[in-house]
A and B are shown apart, each in its own frame.
Chain A
Amino acid sequence: MPFGSGFWTGDWVGVEHPHSFPNPSLTTDATNVNWRQYTLESYVTAECIQGPLNGYQGDDPASLNVGKFLLRRTTDSSIEIIVQCVEPYARGFSADPNLIIVDLMSDGANDDPHRGSYYAPFSKISGSSPADKFTFWVRGSGAGTLYDYYLHHKQPIAFRGVVSEVIGAMLMYAGYTASNIDQASFDDAYDAELNVGPDNNNRPYVWVIPEQGETILATIKRVMQHWSHILTYNKDGKFALRPADSFAEFFVALDNNSNVKEIKTWANKNIVLNKCLAMHGGGYMRHLDYSLAVQPNPRLNAYYEPRLKSDYTQAFIDEYSDSNSITKFGERQFGNRIRNTFNERPGTAYGVGRRDGGPLVRDIPRTISIFTEGDPINVAHYPLVHRSEIKDLIMERFLSNEAQIRTFIEVTQDFMGLDYEIGSVVYVPSELGDFRCIKQTIDYNSLTVTSELIRNFPTEYTTASTAVWAYVNLDDAPVGTTVLSEAAGTMTLEVNLTTTALLDWHYQIYISKDGGPWEEFYTTGWEAETGNLDIQDTWSGDTQSVEVIIRATDDDGGGGQCTPTPWVRMPTAIQ
Chain B
Amino acid sequence: MSSLLTSAIKLKLRSGVYQIRQYYNLGVPEDIAKTAYQYKPIHDEATGLITVTDHGVMVRSGYNFSVSNPGKLGFGEYKFKASNIDGGFSAGSDLWEHGTTSYIAEPHECIIARYAQIYTTGWTLINGTYYTGQVDRVEYVNASMLEPYSVSFYCTPIDMEKLSGYTWGMDDFDEVDLSSIGSMQAPLPENN
Residues in A lying within 8 Å of B, measured CB to CB: 17-18, 21-24, 26, 32-36, 38, 65-67, 70, 104-105, 107, 109-110, 138-157, 171, 173-176, 180, 184-185, 188, 210-217, 219-221, 224-225, 228-237, 242, 247-251, 257, 259, 270-273, 334-335, 339-340, 398, 401-402, 406, 414-416, 418-424, 436-445, 447, 454, 512, 514-518
Contacts of A249 in B (CB 8 A): 1-2
Contacts of B10 in A (CB 8 A): 257, 416, 419, 515
In whole angstroms, how far apart are the Cα atoms of A518 and B1 in the complex?
Answer: 10
Does chain A have a CB within 8 A of B66? yes
Given A18-B174, A36-B184: A518 and B3 within 8 A (CB)?
A: yes
Nearest chain A residue, comparing its CB with the CB of B126 = A415
Q: Looking at the assembled complex, report how far the CB atom of B44 sits from the nearest CB atom of chain A, in whole angstroms.
A: 14
Interface hits, B119-134 → A, CB 8 Å: 126-132
The answer, among A149, A154, A259, for a CB contact under 8 Å with B13, is A259
Does chain A have a CB within 8 A of B139? no
On whether the beta carbons of A230 and B69 are closer than 8 Å, the reply is no
Q: Looking at the assembled complex, report how far the CB atom of B46 sits from the nearest CB atom of chain A, in whole angstroms.
A: 15
Does chain A have a CB within 8 A of B192? yes
By Cβ-Cβ distance, the 5 closest A-B pairs, closest first, are A444-B55, A140-B186, A235-B128, A418-B128, A34-B190
Does chain A have a CB within 8 A of B142? no
On whether the beta carbons of B159 and A180 are closer than 8 Å, the reply is yes
Q: Looking at the assembled complex, report how far the CB atom of A147 sits from the nearest CB atom of chain B, in whole angstroms.
A: 6
Q: Can you list 5 A-B contacts (CB < 8 A)?
A: A38-B181, A210-B168, A211-B168, A232-B62, A516-B3
In whole angstroms, how far apart are the Cα atoms of A217 and B191 in the complex?
Answer: 54
Contacts of B57 in A (CB 8 A): 441-445
The answer, among B1, B67, B163, B185, for a CB contact under 8 Å with A144, is B185
Nearest chain B residue, comparing its CB with the CB of A518 = B2
Interface hits, B44-86 → A, CB 8 Å: 54-71, 73-76, 80
Q: Looking at the assembled complex, report how far the CB atom of A518 sits from the nearest CB atom of chain B, in whole angstroms.
A: 5
Contacts of A444 in B (CB 8 A): 22, 55-58, 80, 116
The answer, among B5, B9, B63, B130, for a CB contact under 8 Å with A231, is B63
On whether the beta carbons of A420 and B187 are closer than 8 Å, the reply is no
Nearest chain B residue, comparing its CB with the CB of A413 = B13
In whole angstroms, how far apart are the Cα atoms of A21 and B65 in the complex?
Answer: 44
Does chain A have a CB within 8 A of B33? no
Nearest chain B residue, comparing its CB with the CB of A246 = B1
The answer, among B2, B5, B158, B181, for a CB contact under 8 Å with A418, is B5
The answer, among A224, A235, A334, for a CB contact under 8 Å with B64, is A224
The answer, among A152, A219, A335, A447, for a CB contact under 8 Å with B177, is A152
Does chain A have a CB within 8 A of B101? no
Q: Looking at the assembled complex, report how far the CB atom of B110 sits from the nearest CB atom of chain A, in whole angstroms.
A: 17
On whether the beta carbons of A445 and B166 are closer than 8 Å, the reply is no
B-side interface size class: 35 or more
Contacts of B128 in A (CB 8 A): 235-236, 418, 421, 442
Does chain A have a CB within 8 A of B164? yes
Given A155-B173, A232-B63: A237 and B186 within 8 A (CB)?
A: no
Contacts of A185 in B (CB 8 A): 1
4 extra interface residue pairs, beta carbon distance < 8 Å, beyond A70-B175, A176-B159, A444-B57 = A26-B184, A421-B4, A438-B62, A438-B65
Q: Looking at the assembled complex, report how far the CB atom of A549 sits from the nearest CB atom of chain B, in whole angstroms.
A: 10
On whether the beta carbons of A154 and B190 are closer than 8 Å, the reply is no
Residues in B lying within 8 Å of A, measured CB to CB: 1-5, 7, 9-11, 13-14, 16, 20, 22, 54-71, 73-76, 80, 116, 118, 126-132, 157-159, 162-170, 172-192
Q: Count of A-B contacts with CB under 8 A? A: 311
On whether the beta carbons of A231 and B168 are closer than 8 Å, the reply is no
The answer, among B130, B187, B189, B191, for a CB contact under 8 Å with A236, is B130
Q: Looking at the assembled complex, report how far the CB atom of A349 sits from the nearest CB atom of chain B, in whole angstroms.
A: 22
The answer, among B54, B64, B175, B190, for a CB contact under 8 Å with A153, is B175
Given A24-B181, A424-B1, A515-B7: A215 and B167 within 8 A (CB)?
A: yes
On whether the beta carbons of B60 and A235 are closer than 8 Å, the reply is yes
In whole angstroms, how far apart are the Cα atoms of A539 and B56 in the complex?
Answer: 45
Q: Looking at the assembled complex, report how far the CB atom of A226 sits from the nearest CB atom of chain B, in whole angstroms.
A: 10
Contacts of A230 in B (CB 8 A): 62-65
Interface centre among A335, A402, A419 (most CB of B within 10 A): A419
Nearest chain A residue, comparing its CB with the CB of B63 = A231
Contacts of A438 in B (CB 8 A): 61-62, 65, 71
Contacts of A213 in B (CB 8 A): 167-169
Contacts of B183 in A (CB 8 A): 146-148
On whether the beta carbons of A416 and B14 are closer than 8 Å, the reply is yes
Nearest chain B residue, comparing its CB with the CB of A71 = B181
On whether the beta carbons of A231 and B73 are closer than 8 Å, the reply is yes
In whole angstroms, how far apart are the Cα atoms of A440 and B129 in the complex?
Answer: 12
On whether the beta carbons of B126 and A418 are closer than 8 Å, the reply is yes
Contacts of A142 in B (CB 8 A): 186
Interface centre among B4, B62, B64 (most CB of A within 10 A): B62
In whole angstroms, how far apart are the Cα atoms of A142 and B185 in the complex?
Answer: 9
Nearest chain B residue, comparing its CB with the CB of A134 = B178
In whole angstroms, how far apart are the Cα atoms of A21 and B67 in the complex?
Answer: 43
In whole angstroms, how far apart are the Cα atoms of A269 and B107 in the complex?
Answer: 46
On whether the beta carbons of A143 and B177 are closer than 8 Å, the reply is no
Contacts of B60 in A (CB 8 A): 232-235, 421-422, 439-440
The answer, among B56, B66, B131, for a CB contact under 8 Å with A401, is B66
In whole angstroms, how far apart are the Cα atoms of A443 and B131 in the complex?
Answer: 14
Q: Looking at the assembled complex, report how far the CB atom of B35 sits from the nearest CB atom of chain A, in whole angstroms.
A: 16
On whether the beta carbons of A153 and B65 are closer than 8 Å, the reply is no
On whether the beta carbons of B179 and A24 are closer than 8 Å, the reply is yes
Contacts of B66 in A (CB 8 A): 271, 401-402, 406, 454
